[in-house]
Amino acid sequence: HAKMGKEMNWYAESTHALQRLYGPDWHLMAGFLAATSANSSVKANLTLAQKAFNQWHHGKPFHGYLKDVQRNLERVVKGERLKGDKISAFHDALLGDEGALVIDRWIFRAYGTKNRERIASLMTVEATARKMTIASYQAEVWKEAKRTGRPGDTDRSFGALLKEKGHQLTLF
């Protein structure tokens, strides 16, 4: 399949940055990132999740989101499983589950099918052959799909963006 370079571990880098910047609330921010991730660029996703974090931190209700997103934000705060195959898997991966397989539109495009079972089977074989975890391999395929499918769009991790912009974020 796609030519993979050195393993970057997109999820581990993102998780580490969340832990460093959000301390004991990092798991909530991970949930907010997952909940706001549908149809968002990495940068827009980070902005939406930060907005949710700030609303939660100030005890305000979540507003300014689609209903499904708002419900998932509420699930995050309650510690409930998020709804949606991609969103729940993304949440698992951000929480450190190396076996989580996040299948989104970029993965569908990379494999030329919307058959989740087929993609999962192929990715498992490919990750094993490369001695990579499922989550790390998926992140590499995703990055390559983004590079070729939307030149100029970022494939950088939340960790890289947070490291770069961390001092500019309004955490509270």
The string of pLDDT tens digits covering residues 40-66 is: 888 889 999 999 999 999 999 999 999
> Counting Cβ atoms within 10 Å, is residue 81 exposed (0-12), middle (13-18) or buried (19+)?
exposed
Sign of the Cα pseudo-torsion (161, 163, 164, 167, in order): positive
Q: Within 10 Å of residue 15's Cβ, how many Cβ atoms?
A: 21
For residue 167, the surrounding DSSP H or E stretch is none
Residues of the chain above pLDDT 90, percent: 67
Please name the residues in contact with 167: beta carbons below 8 A apart, sequence gap of 6 or more: none
* d(C-alpha 44, C-alpha 47), whole Å: 5
* d(C-alpha 49, C-alpha 29), whole Å: 7
Is the per-residue pLDDT at 2 higher than 50?
no
Phi and psi at 154, nearest 5°, equal -75, 140
In this prediction, residue 50 carries a pLDDT of 94
Q: Within 10 Å of residue 164's Cβ, how many Cβ atoms?
A: 11
Give pTM, 2 decimals: 0.85
**Mean pLDDT calculated for residue range 149-162:** 60
> How would residue 10 be classed by pLDDT, with cut points 50, 70 and 90?
confident
Sign of the Cα pseudo-torsion (78, 32, 171, 93, in order): positive
For the chain, the residue count is 172
* d(C-alpha 77, C-alpha 93), whole Å: 18
